[in-house]
Amino acid sequence: MKLGITQRTFEHNGQLYDATDRNWYDMFPEKDGYKIVSIPNTKSIDLKKIAKNIDALIIAGGNDIAPRGINEWHLIEHMSVLNKPVVGICHGAFLMTYKAHGKVEPIDRHNNINHVIWYKGYERVVNSHHDIGMSRAPEGATVLCEADDGSIECWIKGNHAAIAWHPERLEDYWMPLEVEALLLC
């Protein structure tokens, strides 16, 4: 399975660099049939071609700068037309929620901490690196996980899903089974 993953941008010595968290390669190893395709944040790429050539897309966590956000917005559209899975992580979850007319707003208590979420009646501890949250899922979406404060931590609608934490940064990589199923080979 070709798994496209968007990249965060870093500045070093006045130069911009794109980066893919190396944990994605461990979470989706080649030996299990995955091929990671890192998607650069440049205006000069053919987003339609990328969407055609990948099987699923992860909008990764990280910063929200142009042209990254613009590329991700259009990639979601292209993947939707092709009926291919898209999973948003942290930054990607908020972008997807906003794009699908859910509600995203400032939130306390979620920046650089671990906290409890609820999934199918069970407690899980996840990481949190954001100061905004999902307060309303898109219409027709199923909320899979919530935090104790009532904020939405994960939703799924068809073959699109949003996860507020970083599953690739957990000691034992974890995402809800319904979302994981979208990314299986």
Question: How would you classify the pairing of strands 122-129 and 111-119?
Answer: antiparallel
Name the pLDDT band for 108 (thresholds 50, 70, 90): confident
Q: What is the pLDDT of residue 165?
A: 98
- Percent of the chain past pLDDT 70, that is, above it, reads 99
pLDDT at 115: 95
Is the predicted pLDDT of residue 182 greater than 90, yes or no? yes
**In which band, very low, low, confident or very high, does the pLDDT at 71 lie, cut at 50, 70 and 90?**
very high
115 touches 126 (CB < 8 A): yes
CATH no. of 2-183: 3.40.50.880
**What pLDDT, on a 0 to 100 scale, did the predictor assign at position 159?**
98
Domain ranges in the chain are 2-183
Give the integer Cα–Cα distance in Å for 24 and 173.
Answer: 10
| pLDDT tens digits for range 131-154 | 999 999 999 999 999 999 899 999
Q: Is the pLDDT of residue 66 over 90?
A: no
User: What integer pLDDT is reported at residue 1 of this predicted model?
Assistant: 96
Instruction: Give me the amino acid identity at 152.
Output: I
What is the pLDDT of the chain when averaged over all its residues?
Answer: 96
**pLDDT tens digit string along 10-42?**
999 999 999 999 999 999 999 999 999 999 999
Of 32-41, 101-110, 113-122, 175-184, which range is least confident?
A: 101-110
Q: How far apart are CA 145 and CA 164, in angstroms?
A: 10
* pLDDT over threshold 80, residue 185: no
What is the rounded CA–CA span in Å between residue 122 and residue 136?
Answer: 21
- pTM of the shown model: 0.97
Structure-token pair, residue 41:
């944040």
